[in-house]
Amino acid sequence: MVLVWTGRGFWAALFPILFVFMLGMVGDVAFGGAMLETHSWLYGVAVIASAFVTWTCGRRWNGTIGLRPWDLDAMLRRRRDHTVFALPMELWAIPTVLIGVWMIVANLAPGS
């Protein structure tokens, strides 16, 4: 897979990976590996936390802090220096949250 970005946009792909990796490291050291095996839904929480950081950093770096979150048209019309696949970095937080919610629901389901 080819990742196309401009500026600091690559962080939109790295934040979820780093947050999950850090949760695994800290959880393993603090609570042991068994905790993360029985509570694997925590990985979804880490992905959602990374989406918040992606949104915050993207808004600050792209200068869209003054825009309302639902004003996608204005976000897409503004000059943006930090993108992934030609979309502003902060918009990648939306699918990241959906992936995090899916991870939580899938790991809380009975029999998982």
Band of residue 92 on the pLDDT scale cut at 50, 70, 90: very high
For residue 2, the model assigns a pLDDT of 75
Q: Give the total number of structural domains in the chain.
A: 1
Closest listed residue to residue 49, CA positions, set 81, 22, 82, 87: 22
Q: Is the Cβ–Cβ distance between 76 and 104 less than 8 Å? A: no
**In angstroms, rounded to a whole number, what is the distance separating the alpha carbons of residues 66 and 108?**
37
Q: Which two tokens stand for residue 107?
A: 């790991």
| pTM of structure | 0.83
**Digit-coded pLDDT (tens) for 11-68:** 999 999 999 999 989 988 888 878 888 888 999 999 999 999 999 999 888 877 666 6
Q: Residue 41 belongs to what domain range? A: 5-108
